[in-house]
Amino acid sequence: MKPINVGLLGIGTVGGGTFTVLERNADEIARRAGREIRITTVADRNIERAREVAGDSAGQIKFTDDAFAVVRDPDVDIVVELIGGYTVAKDLVLAAIENGKHVVTANKALLAVHGNAIFAAARRREVMVAFEAAVAGGIPIIKALREGLSANRIQWVAGIINGTTNFILSEMRDKGLPFADVLKEAQRLGYAEADPTFDIEGVDAAHKATIMSAIAFGIPMQFDKAHVEGISKLDAVDIAYAEQLGYRIKLLGIARRREQGVELRVHPTLIPARRLLANVEGAMNAVVVQGDAVGATLYYGKGAGAEPTASAVIADLVDITRLHTADPEHRVPHLAFQPDQVRDIPVLPIEETITSYYLRLRVVDKPGVLADITRILADSDISIDAMIQKEPGEGESQTDIIILTHQTVEKNANAAIAKIEALATVQGKVTRLRLETL
């Protein structure tokens, strides 16, 4: 049977890993796919480096610095886009689709922002766009949501889906170090980029949460409506207090179905230490999916790296190869639901979400302070689950109060916090973190 010819756009870390794994496991992959899958064309700005990555196989491959030549090449069946970013990558993917090519991409930013247009174009041209590698690296979470859990009404998805921030939080907890110091160490070790903004401010995780929410609930990509908070303002003292209360702090991407709409949010979150998700350490990723029939399922593994991500890229190549000649009407839909059944369910503003809270207050150590605070919470319909009041240090007149609340609507919490901060006995701002029992 004729081999499937692949055009690879970008042969950096993931592209190089894809090339290596595809070559090393060629026989096994062909046995699964039903025919040989081979990279015949590579586009990269540095052709000499691309040849070095290809090694002994370089003589059988066409190299070019013109990626658009690859997407127009009539001999290429599938285009693998590993360039990243929003702009050139978007033009290349749309050009590939227009030229009748199937597309595999690891580009979560592109799909979260432009996925609706890309999938619509793919449907018109009756080609597939596969993106397992766009979320959680080598963990097959997209396939689980699209296929494995298709019998379920999915209730929520919560995940540690950024390895950089998870490494930083793990180090802050283990060593008691401030954020800035651990970030420098993460950069030295290669876990964090020179410009780590997308990771530490939660943008990368929000791209991935947006994709998972679309597949879980059959809604369009709505990245612009996601609530996004990172970890750069997180204080090591709150990690220590959370530990005393039996919780760990993780940067979570959360998508939850509610009667009024969908919650879509990324932020530092307290999780009970007994939960498996709370014990995911270092640069590892994990996602929990709650379905009505199956209950909670956990997906754990490496969320980045050359070969883990290549594993997902090649799984997509195998899927497309199997379905290459299939009737387009009988392929798995891009967003799991049939295109005419994707519903524009609203994403709720953060003020309408429901969760529990961790509150840390710096207060003057005098009688009646705690009574004033609890009265404000009660008036806002917020009940207290647990509390720590620290003894002031010798010679100090101020101390910390840490409160965990039961679930409430965020706007109620905001109103209560504003009133608490207005008390003369409360010093500065209240530190507020969300809490999920999962």
One domain for residues 146 and 279: yes
pLDDT per residue rounded down to tens, the chain (438 residues): 899 999 999 999 999 999 999 999 999 999 999 999 999 999 999 999 999 999 999 999 999 999 999 999 999 999 999 999 988 999 999 999 999 999 999 999 999 999 999 999 999 999 999 999 999 999 999 999 999 999 999 999 999 999 999 999 999 999 999 999 999 999 998 889 999 999 999 999 999 999 999 999 999 999 999 999 999 999 999 999 999 999 999 999 999 999 999 999 999 999 999 999 999 999 999 999 999 999 999 999 999 999 999 999 999 999 999 988 778 888 999 999 999 999 999 999 999 999 999 999 999 998 899 999 999 999 999 999 999 988 887 778 899 999 999 999 999 999 999 999 999 999 999 999 999 999
Residue 198 lies in a domain: yes
One domain for residues 287 and 379: no
Give the span between the Cα atoms of 247 and 272, in whole angstroms.
4
Residue 274 lies in a domain: yes
Closest listed residue to residue 165, CA positions, set 260, 253, 225, 290: 253
- CATH number, domain of 397, equals 3.30.70.260
Residue 54 lies in a domain: yes
One domain for residues 98 and 242: no
> Which are the contacts of 369, defined by CB distance < 8 A and separation ≥ 6?
363, 401, 423, 425, 426
One domain for residues 24 and 101: yes
Domain boundaries, position 123: 4-138+306-341
One domain for residues 162 and 292: yes
> Which are the contacts of 304, defined by CB distance < 8 A and separation ≥ 6?
137, 163, 283, 285
Closest listed residue to residue 150, CA positions, set 345, 328, 323, 337: 337
What 8-state DSSP symbol labels residue 348?
Answer: P
One domain for residues 223 and 235: yes
Look at residue 26 and give its three-state secondary structure: helix
One domain for residues 33 and 117: yes
What 8-state DSSP symbol labels residue 184?
Answer: H
261-to-250, 344, 350 alpha-carbon distances in Å: 25, 10, 12
One domain for residues 132 and 175: no
Look at residue 352 and give its three-state secondary structure: helix
Copy the structure tokens of residue 385: 């689950």
One domain for residues 24 and 127: yes
Give the span between the Cα atoms of 67 and 245, in whole angstroms.
54
Q: How many domains does the chain contain in total?
A: 3
One domain for residues 228 and 312: no
Residues that are catalytic: 208
**Which amino acid is it at 61?**
I
| Cβ neighbours around 109 below 10 Å, total | 21
